[in-house]
Amino acid sequence: AQSVSQHNHHVILSEAASLELGCNYSYGGTVNLFWYVQYPGQHLQLLLKYFSGDPLVKGIKGFEAEFIKSKFSFNLRKPSVQWSDTAEYFCAVKGNNDMRFGAGTRLTVKP
């Protein structure tokens, strides 16, 4: 069965610090990979996605993620975080017809 692991439960950073959130998955077939963000009190929003092609994917708000097939990883990065990036971040893997989510990483950015 497919599974998604997010190793960081809660990350606390100061503004302008660099961010990397880990995501590893377990699935035997072709997958599509996603990062979603959930701001406090809001619903899930898509940050970026990988279907095929260039493994370095750029998303909204300066986020990017790199698909490393050999490591089954899809880590999320941002060079310089802002206070407004405080949110919950979810990695998701879609195989066949359903989507599985990681446990989520809470990011707190201190001003």
Q: Dihedral angle at the C-alpha atoms of 58, 64, 69, 71, nearest 10 degrees?
A: 180
**Nearer residue to other proteins within complex by CB, 77 or 106:** 106
Who's near 16: CB < 8 A, 6+ residues apart?
80, 81
State how far the Cα of 24 lies from the Cα of 62, in Å rounded to an integer: 21
Q: Which residues bind other proteins (CB under 8 A)?
A: 32, 34, 36, 42-46, 49, 90, 94, 97-104, 106
**Nearer residue to other proteins within complex by CB, 70 or 97:** 97
**Nearer residue to other proteins within complex by CB, 81 or 102:** 102
Instruction: Work out how close the CB of 22 gets to other proteins at its nearest, in angstroms, rounded to a whole number.
Output: 15
